[in-house]
Amino acid sequence: MLNYTLTHPPLLRALAAAGHGSQVLLADGNYPAATAKPAGAEVIHLNLRPGLLSVTEVLGPLLDAVNIEAGRVMALPDGGAVPAHAEYEQMLGAQVDFAVMERFAFYDAARGPDVAFVVATGDQRICANLLLTIGVRT
């Protein structure tokens, strides 16, 4: 029996196959998960309906399962604040390198060779995507 809250078999399998430096994209419901990813990256669908599940709801159990060393988010086109970003930064903690990227730079990063898999969520918040880099196990 697992001692942490993550129990989703495909997500556990994908995390087990990833390692230090691998990236995981938690995609909002507006993200083009089928096309804006590396060709070999699996998409794990957790988008049951609009609003369920959110990126935040997926992030919590992931933080129980793996160490995260970096988080990247997508900026609004007008440069405004995205409330979800402050939520992610708080959940990740001060030890995680957190940065906001311009929209197309984010898409380029999310198509990078280190992206192991994408989790498609039903998050309806704009620019709620979160690109995580898995850290080392202490």
Domains and CATH numbers, the chain: 9-134 (3.40.1650.10)
Single pTM value for the model = 0.96
26-46 burial code (b ≥16 CB/10 A, e <16): bbbbebebeebbbeebeebeb
Give the per-residue pLDDT at 138: 75
Measure the N-to-C terminal CA separation of the chain; round to a whole number of Å. 22
- Please report which confidence band the pLDDT of residue 126 belongs to, taking 50, 70 and 90 as the band edges: very high
Task: Please provide the average confidence, as pLDDT, over all residues in the chain.
Answer: 95
Question: By the 8 A CB rule, do 23 and 115 touch?
Answer: yes
Helix 83-92 and helix 55-65: axis angle, to 10°?
10
Strand-strand pairing, 115-120 and 42-45: parallel
Write the pLDDT tens digit of every residue in 26-54: 999 999 999 999 999 999 999 999 999 99
Give the C-alpha separation, 122 to 45, whole Å: 9
Tens of pLDDT, residues 89-101: 999 999 999 999 9
Q: What is the per-residue pLDDT for 19?
A: 92
